[in-house]
Chain A
């Protein structure tokens, strides 16, 4: 026996949350061929089936694409700082994928590494994640290669499992989850549909040792020849968190703003002197792999990747972490 909820009841709950002023987000169909996590203004917009995963990630709810750090007022030679202490609404993300939810505890490490980023932490505290376990995968998925899977609970406050017939088993992982769903579910004897389990496609340890020990291998430059150096992979990735701090002066509102940035941009590491430690796209591609599979694990014990496949699906030229990994260490296994 498990607790379950019907899709209709789930939508009713969603409508209630929206009506009480919470910020509710979930997958929505933005265009016929594009599903994105967006803020829901009505429960009908919530999309629960018919796609593998949205093309963006849920990191924008804890790490938004722009965050005002503080404002300043200049009068003559006096400066006054104006803090950004606006209260945050409670946030609920519905129907996140396990590969999105798992990214949050992974990101917790860097945002609390010695210096504590309260912008991130307070959004994290304000957010409840309801994860919908996967029952389909595509050829870009590789969560099982990085230690996760279609029913992984990491980062989730509530797990929903598709029972078929528009019903979901509800498993509350945390207190936050129980607060949302207590009294809202019914007993059910249905069994969960077998989740899709993509077979392992590579061994991350091999990637780690390759990028660390073959730093100057011509592989990096060759592989990156078709990379055009945009930020699509980094910005749609659930775990990429590199950022810029911008001060654009009075016409931008006299504020310091944190914005997403990508190590793939040519000027990411450009010095004012003109020197650029990573002048070629290959060195920039290598940096992404190094950061995800070597540096982050070394510092925080976790791979900075959840195998969601967004980088591969969204890349305008078909590259991504998976394509790099498969060239370094392909494992030919049957899919589960």
Chain B
């Protein structure tokens, strides 16, 4: 019996069929009392629990979400919970950056024999959530702070010394038929050149922003034959990831690496290399980036210095501007799904409407599908016509992958990927 004005939290629990669900069942058959606030959703395995489901739980009104499955080593499908655990490690970081209230998201291992544990966990979570109150902060407005952004330094377009060598090399490649198409930079943006005579259209200057590796996956380009692609050191890392994911055969692409002198913000914030490492041919000498009038503020640190509430208000302001043009997706080399999850409609997993909720869902899906795959080329932030600081989300996951797994996407072709692999020693200090 509860008094009329006591807050009754709604808890959504995603549980695995083989352990936790049976554990909850056991609690029932052994007549263990626990609060009725939990709605149980049964899935075959925690490995199947898409991060999207956790967000959906909140979207439909949950005040807390629980995810529970078999103990490590006990998974009915052998390794499903290991994969889940690894994903949760990264996903919590993303939720933290977005300003979700992590006190409302719980993970636990409960076996089929642990009816008592189920009773305890549900009781604890219900009481904790009751004290926290209803989750009214979700996607809420607030006095959103903006991040400190450096005033753009005057940026001069300079043709770089390696341009003639680049043109000559491409002329030779096409003339001798070594490649059928060169994907390079032109006057206004990327240029696709198929004839040796047209290689004088290619340029190499400080405005060569685009990550051209995104073109090697497009079917219209593939149809032209073996390509050569001009890459900066940041773009080159995409090729490492694409090869790891079996999207390209490195031997079937001629990679022309250009030592980089910087192309300006927002891309150069994430610069980690100025010399290509894996190219078939390299041109230019890195002369260091253009001197900035003032060092760019560390936007990520400034974001994490805010409270979760402030962070969520910040992202709400950002995502309110999103029009769902999917430029962020289309420019990304790693977004190569034949049909993106947001374009699928059976079921509609992510609301396609540009509401605040739908835009958060899309932003989360995009960032998380790139977890530990993004190489930090900054194209998403550059391409966004609404100026949303998308790369910050990718950077958060990049840091999480580095800190937790020592992994830096696109750097070492031999390093084992983060998502899709697991270790028995993956941390679980956040799991009850």
Interface positions of A (Cβ within 8 A of B):
30-34, 36, 55-56, 65-66, 221-222, 224-226, 228-232, 234-236, 244, 246, 248-249, 251-252, 257, 259-260, 262, 265, 267, 280-282, 314-319, 323
- CB-nearest residue of chain B to A310: B385
Q: A65-B323, A260-B323, A262-B325 are in contact. Are A56 and B351 (CB under 8 A)?
A: no
Asked if A267 contacts B189 (CB within 8 A), the reply is no
Stretch in contact with the other chain, from B157-165, B279-287, B352-360, B417-425: B352-360
Rounded to whole angstroms, the CA-CA distance of A318 and B386 in the bound complex is 17
Cβ–Cβ contact A230 & B352, under 8 A: no
Question: Once bound together, how far apart are the Cα atoms of A316 and B59, in whole Å?
Answer: 32
Report A70 CB to chain B, min CB distance, Å.
14
Q: Is B343 an interface residue (CB 8 A)?
A: yes
Describe B's contact surface by its main secondary structure.
Answer: loop
Report whether B353 and A246 are in contact in the complex, using a CB–CB cutoff of 8 Å: yes
Stretch of B21-29, B92-100, B327-335 contacting A (4+ beta carbons < 8 Å): B327-335
Give Cα A234–Cα B330 distance, bound, in whole angstroms.
15
**Looking at the complex, which one of A224, A230, A252 makes contact with B327 (CB distance below 8 Å)?**
A230
The answer to whether A246 and B352 touch across the interface, beta carbons within 8 angstroms, is yes
Bound complex: CA of A129 vs CA of B339, how far in Å?
A: 41
Q: Is B60 an interface residue (CB 8 A)?
A: yes
Name the residue of chain A whose CB is nearest to the CB of B191: A226
On whether the beta carbons of B383 and A316 are closer than 8 Å, the reply is yes
Known: A34-B387, A267-B343. Contact between A235 and B353, CB under 8 A?
Answer: no
Given A226-B192, A260-B324, A315-B189, A232:B352 Cβ within 8 A: no
Can you list 28 A-B contacts (CB < 8 A)?
A: A30-B321, A30-B386, A32-B152, A34-B387, A36-B386, A55-B385, A66-B353, A66-B354, A225-B215, A226-B189, A226-B192, A228-B214, A228-B218, A228-B330, A228-B331, A231-B323, A231-B326, A231-B327, A232-B325, A235-B385, A248-B351, A251-B56, A252-B358, A259-B354, A280-B219, A281-B218, A316-B327, A317-B189
How far apart are B58's CB and chain A's nearest CB, in angstroms? 11
Nearest Cβ distance between residue A308 and chain B, in whole angstroms?
13
By beta carbon, the residue of chain B nearest A281 is B220
- Bound: A116/B342 CA distance, A: 31
Known: A259-B324, A282-B220, A316-B383. A230 touches B189 (CB 8 A): no
Interface on chain A toward B: helix, strand, loop, or mixed SS?
mixed
Q: Which residue of A lies closest to B343 (CB)?
A: A267
Q: How far is the CA of A221 from the CA of B382 in the complex (A)?
A: 26
> How many pairs of residues, A versus B, come closer than 8 Å at their CB atoms?
121
What residues on A are CB-neighbors of B386 within 8 Å? 30, 36, 56
Q: Does A251 contact B59, Cβ atoms closer than 8 Å? A: yes
Q: Determine whether the beta carbon of A317 is less than 8 Å from that of B190.
A: yes
A319 touches B323 (CB 8 A): no
**Complex contacts, B329 vs chain A, CB 8 Å:** 230
Determine if B220 and A267 form an interchain contact, defined as CB atoms under 8 angstroms apart. no
Instruction: Report how far A280 CA is from B94 CA in the complex, Å.
Output: 35
Could you tell me the distance in whole angstroms from the C-beta of B190 to the nearest C-beta in chain A? 4
Chain A, residue nearest B192 (CB): A225
**Min CB distance, A24 to chain B, in Å?**
17
The reply on B149 being an interface residue by CB < 8 A is yes
Q: Chain B 384-406, CB within 8 Å of chain A: the 1/0 string?
A: 01110000000000000000000
